[in-house]
Amino acid sequence: MPAVFVHGNPETAAVWDLLLAELAPSRSDLVCLSPPGFGAPLPAGFAATHAGYRDWLIGEAEAFGEPVDLVGHDLGGGHVVNVVLSRPDLVRSWVSDVLGMYDPGYEWHELARRWRTPGDGEADVAARFGGTAAERTAVLVERGMGRAVAGRVAAGQDAEMGRAVLSVYRSAGPPGLGLPLERAAARPGLAVLAAADPIVGTEAQRRRAAARAGARVAVLDGLGHWWMTHDPARAAAALTRFWATVP
Protein backbone atom coordinates (compact mmCIF):
# COMPACT_ATOMS: atom_id res chain seq x y z
CA MET A 1 0.00 0.00 0.00
CA PRO A 2 2.12 2.94 -1.24
CA ALA A 3 2.54 6.26 0.53
CA VAL A 4 2.31 8.79 -2.30
CA PHE A 5 3.75 12.31 -1.90
CA VAL A 6 2.60 15.21 -4.08
CA HIS A 7 4.43 18.54 -3.86
CA GLY A 8 3.33 22.03 -4.77
CA ASN A 9 4.62 25.34 -6.11
CA PRO A 10 7.31 26.43 -6.92
CA GLU A 11 8.75 23.02 -6.19
CA THR A 12 10.02 19.70 -7.43
CA ALA A 13 9.90 16.36 -5.64
CA ALA A 14 13.25 17.22 -4.03
CA VAL A 15 11.32 19.15 -1.40
CA TRP A 16 10.48 15.77 0.17
CA ASP A 17 14.04 14.37 0.22
CA LEU A 18 14.81 14.88 3.91
CA LEU A 19 11.40 13.65 5.06
CA LEU A 20 11.59 10.52 2.91
CA ALA A 21 15.01 9.74 4.34
CA GLU A 22 13.48 9.79 7.82
CA LEU A 23 10.56 7.58 6.78
CA ALA A 24 12.55 5.07 4.74
CA PRO A 25 13.58 2.81 7.68
CA SER A 26 9.92 2.16 8.52
CA ARG A 27 8.29 2.24 5.06
CA SER A 28 9.62 0.78 1.84
CA ASP A 29 6.67 1.92 -0.30
CA LEU A 30 7.38 5.66 -0.59
CA VAL A 31 6.54 7.23 -3.96
CA CYS A 32 6.82 10.84 -5.18
CA LEU A 33 4.59 12.11 -7.97
CA SER A 34 5.52 15.35 -9.73
CA PRO A 35 2.58 17.30 -11.16
CA PRO A 36 3.10 18.27 -14.82
CA GLY A 37 5.11 21.48 -15.00
CA PHE A 38 6.46 21.09 -11.48
CA GLY A 39 9.54 18.94 -11.97
CA ALA A 40 7.87 16.92 -14.73
CA PRO A 41 7.21 17.83 -18.37
CA LEU A 42 4.12 19.91 -19.15
CA PRO A 43 2.58 17.95 -22.05
CA ALA A 44 1.08 19.82 -24.96
CA GLY A 45 -2.63 20.17 -24.40
CA PHE A 46 -2.49 19.39 -20.68
CA ALA A 47 -5.02 21.43 -18.72
CA ALA A 48 -2.87 22.99 -15.99
CA THR A 49 -5.93 23.82 -13.91
CA HIS A 50 -7.20 22.61 -10.56
CA ALA A 51 -9.50 20.18 -12.36
CA GLY A 52 -6.72 19.08 -14.69
CA TYR A 53 -4.37 18.28 -11.83
CA ARG A 54 -7.14 16.46 -9.98
CA ASP A 55 -7.71 14.26 -13.01
CA TRP A 56 -3.97 13.72 -13.42
CA LEU A 57 -3.65 12.54 -9.81
CA ILE A 58 -6.70 10.30 -10.14
CA GLY A 59 -5.06 8.62 -13.12
CA GLU A 60 -1.80 8.15 -11.22
CA ALA A 61 -3.62 6.72 -8.19
CA GLU A 62 -5.63 4.32 -10.33
CA ALA A 63 -2.39 2.90 -11.72
CA PHE A 64 -1.36 1.56 -8.30
CA GLY A 65 -4.28 -0.88 -8.32
CA GLU A 66 -4.91 -0.47 -4.59
CA PRO A 67 -5.86 2.37 -2.23
CA VAL A 68 -2.91 4.61 -1.32
CA ASP A 69 -1.86 6.89 1.51
CA LEU A 70 -1.85 10.35 -0.13
CA VAL A 71 0.32 13.14 1.30
CA GLY A 72 0.08 16.60 -0.25
CA HIS A 73 1.86 19.89 0.33
CA ASP A 74 0.87 23.36 -0.93
CA LEU A 75 -0.86 22.96 -4.33
CA GLY A 76 -0.26 19.24 -3.96
CA GLY A 77 -2.30 19.36 -0.76
CA GLY A 78 -5.15 20.80 -2.79
CA HIS A 79 -4.81 18.08 -5.43
CA VAL A 80 -5.01 15.48 -2.65
CA VAL A 81 -8.19 17.00 -1.22
CA ASN A 82 -9.78 17.11 -4.67
CA VAL A 83 -9.04 13.42 -5.22
CA VAL A 84 -10.45 12.42 -1.82
CA LEU A 85 -13.64 14.33 -2.59
CA SER A 86 -13.94 12.86 -6.09
CA ARG A 87 -12.59 9.30 -5.79
CA PRO A 88 -12.36 8.16 -2.17
CA ASP A 89 -12.15 4.57 -3.41
CA LEU A 90 -8.55 5.30 -4.49
CA VAL A 91 -7.50 6.49 -1.04
CA ARG A 92 -6.71 4.63 2.19
CA SER A 93 -5.77 7.84 4.04
CA TRP A 94 -4.88 11.41 3.19
CA VAL A 95 -2.71 14.24 4.54
CA SER A 96 -2.83 17.91 3.53
CA ASP A 97 -1.32 21.11 4.93
CA VAL A 98 -3.60 23.60 3.10
CA LEU A 99 -7.07 22.97 4.50
CA GLY A 100 -7.31 26.55 5.75
CA MET A 101 -7.68 27.81 2.19
CA TYR A 102 -11.12 26.17 2.04
CA ASP A 103 -12.43 28.19 4.98
CA PRO A 104 -14.92 30.88 3.90
CA GLY A 105 -12.80 33.60 5.54
CA TYR A 106 -9.58 32.72 3.70
CA GLU A 107 -7.90 35.39 1.54
CA TRP A 108 -5.29 34.84 -1.16
CA HIS A 109 -1.72 35.47 -0.09
CA GLU A 110 0.22 38.26 -1.78
CA LEU A 111 2.00 36.08 -4.34
CA ALA A 112 -1.21 34.34 -5.36
CA ARG A 113 -2.85 37.71 -5.96
CA ARG A 114 0.10 38.72 -8.12
CA TRP A 115 0.03 35.50 -10.16
CA ARG A 116 -3.71 35.89 -10.76
CA THR A 117 -3.21 39.40 -12.17
CA PRO A 118 -2.48 39.60 -15.93
CA GLY A 119 0.82 41.33 -16.59
CA ASP A 120 1.97 41.29 -12.97
CA GLY A 121 1.96 37.49 -12.95
CA GLU A 122 3.95 37.19 -16.16
CA ALA A 123 6.55 39.64 -14.90
CA ASP A 124 6.87 37.81 -11.59
CA VAL A 125 7.38 34.33 -13.01
CA ALA A 126 9.86 35.63 -15.60
CA ALA A 127 11.96 37.05 -12.80
CA ARG A 128 11.36 34.19 -10.36
CA PHE A 129 12.22 31.34 -12.73
CA GLY A 130 14.84 33.14 -14.77
CA GLY A 131 18.35 33.94 -13.62
CA THR A 132 20.88 31.45 -12.33
CA ALA A 133 20.28 28.42 -10.14
CA ALA A 134 22.16 30.20 -7.34
CA GLU A 135 19.81 33.18 -7.59
CA ARG A 136 16.74 30.96 -7.55
CA THR A 137 18.14 29.08 -4.55
CA ALA A 138 18.65 32.33 -2.66
CA VAL A 139 15.02 33.31 -3.29
CA LEU A 140 13.75 29.99 -1.94
CA VAL A 141 15.90 30.25 1.19
CA GLU A 142 14.79 33.84 1.74
CA ARG A 143 11.16 32.73 1.53
CA GLY A 144 11.74 29.98 4.10
CA MET A 145 12.83 26.76 2.40
CA GLY A 146 15.60 24.80 4.10
CA ARG A 147 18.93 25.40 2.42
CA ALA A 148 19.70 21.66 2.34
CA VAL A 149 17.08 21.10 -0.37
CA ALA A 150 16.59 24.57 -1.87
CA GLY A 151 19.37 24.11 -4.42
CA ARG A 152 17.89 20.82 -5.61
CA VAL A 153 14.47 22.42 -6.03
CA ALA A 154 15.91 25.48 -7.79
CA ALA A 155 17.61 23.25 -10.35
CA GLY A 156 14.17 22.16 -11.57
CA GLN A 157 12.61 25.60 -11.83
CA ASP A 158 12.14 26.88 -15.38
CA ALA A 159 9.85 28.82 -17.71
CA GLU A 160 7.57 25.80 -18.06
CA MET A 161 6.96 25.88 -14.32
CA GLY A 162 6.14 29.58 -14.61
CA ARG A 163 3.47 28.85 -17.23
CA ALA A 164 1.96 26.16 -15.03
CA VAL A 165 1.90 28.51 -12.03
CA LEU A 166 -0.05 31.18 -13.89
CA SER A 167 -2.47 28.68 -15.38
CA VAL A 168 -3.35 26.85 -12.18
CA TYR A 169 -3.71 29.97 -10.04
CA ARG A 170 -5.88 31.67 -12.63
CA SER A 171 -8.12 28.62 -12.83
CA ALA A 172 -8.97 28.83 -9.13
CA GLY A 173 -12.30 30.10 -7.89
CA PRO A 174 -12.75 32.74 -5.20
CA PRO A 175 -10.64 32.40 -2.04
CA GLY A 176 -12.27 30.33 0.67
CA LEU A 177 -13.89 28.17 -1.98
CA GLY A 178 -16.68 26.27 -0.24
CA LEU A 179 -15.88 22.70 -1.25
CA PRO A 180 -17.94 19.93 0.40
CA LEU A 181 -15.12 19.08 2.81
CA GLU A 182 -17.47 16.94 4.87
CA ARG A 183 -17.17 14.26 2.18
CA ALA A 184 -13.46 13.94 2.93
CA ALA A 185 -14.38 12.26 6.22
CA ALA A 186 -15.09 9.12 4.17
CA ARG A 187 -11.38 8.37 4.56
CA PRO A 188 -9.06 8.99 7.54
CA GLY A 189 -7.39 12.37 7.16
CA LEU A 190 -4.67 14.43 8.80
CA ALA A 191 -4.34 18.21 8.65
CA VAL A 192 -0.72 19.26 9.12
CA LEU A 193 -0.77 22.59 10.94
CA ALA A 194 2.64 24.21 10.62
CA ALA A 195 2.10 26.98 13.13
CA ALA A 196 4.43 29.53 11.52
CA ASP A 197 3.01 29.16 8.00
CA PRO A 198 1.25 32.44 7.04
CA ILE A 199 0.22 31.32 3.56
CA VAL A 200 -2.54 28.78 4.17
CA GLY A 201 -4.80 30.64 6.58
CA THR A 202 -4.99 31.28 10.28
CA GLU A 203 -4.87 28.53 12.85
CA ALA A 204 -8.60 28.99 13.45
CA GLN A 205 -9.35 28.65 9.71
CA ARG A 206 -7.25 25.52 9.45
CA ARG A 207 -8.86 23.95 12.51
CA ARG A 208 -12.39 24.76 11.28
CA ALA A 209 -11.64 23.21 7.90
CA ALA A 210 -10.06 20.13 9.50
CA ALA A 211 -13.17 19.65 11.65
CA ARG A 212 -15.40 19.87 8.58
CA ALA A 213 -13.23 17.26 6.85
CA GLY A 214 -13.22 14.96 9.87
CA ALA A 215 -9.44 15.14 9.94
CA ARG A 216 -7.05 14.82 12.85
CA VAL A 217 -4.70 17.77 13.40
CA ALA A 218 -0.93 17.52 13.80
CA VAL A 219 0.52 20.79 15.10
CA LEU A 220 4.13 21.52 14.19
CA ASP A 221 5.03 24.43 16.44
CA GLY A 222 7.70 26.78 15.16
CA LEU A 223 7.68 25.40 11.61
CA GLY A 224 6.65 27.31 8.51
CA HIS A 225 5.42 26.58 5.00
CA TRP A 226 8.31 24.22 4.17
CA TRP A 227 8.06 22.30 7.42
CA MET A 228 9.41 19.09 5.86
CA THR A 229 12.73 20.80 5.07
CA HIS A 230 13.39 22.12 8.58
CA ASP A 231 12.44 19.32 10.99
CA PRO A 232 11.95 16.17 8.93
CA ALA A 233 12.23 13.94 11.99
CA ARG A 234 9.28 15.63 13.70
CA ALA A 235 7.29 15.60 10.46
CA ALA A 236 8.02 11.91 9.95
CA ALA A 237 6.91 11.13 13.49
CA ALA A 238 3.60 12.92 12.92
CA LEU A 239 2.93 10.96 9.73
CA THR A 240 3.95 7.66 11.30
CA ARG A 241 1.66 8.21 14.29
CA PHE A 242 -1.24 8.99 11.97
CA TRP A 243 -0.68 5.99 9.69
CA ALA A 244 -0.60 3.73 12.75
CA THR A 245 -4.24 4.69 13.45
CA VAL A 246 -5.47 3.88 9.94
CA PRO A 247 -7.23 0.52 9.60
Domain ranges in the chain are 3-107+178-244
pLDDT for 123: 96
**In the predicted structure, residue 229 carries a pLDDT above the cut 90:** yes
For the cut 90, the answer to whether the pLDDT of residue 212 exceeds it is yes
Bond prior to 10 in cis (omega within 30° of 0): yes
Q: What is the pLDDT of residues 4-30, one digit of tens each?
A: 999 999 999 999 999 999 999 999 999
pLDDT at position 42: 94
Q: What distance in Å separates the CA atoms of residue 208 and residue 204, rounded to the nearest whole number?
A: 6
pLDDT-derived band of residue 105, with 50, 70 and 90 as boundaries?
confident
Instruction: Give whole-number Cα distances, 188 to 141, 195, 230, 246, in Å.
Output: 33, 22, 26, 7
pLDDT tier, 135 (very low <50, low <70, confident <90, very high otherwise)? very high
Range 81-104 average pLDDT: 96
CATH code for 3-107+178-244? 3.40.50.1820
* Amino acid 170: pLDDT: 94
Q: Chain-wide mean pLDDT for the chain? A: 95
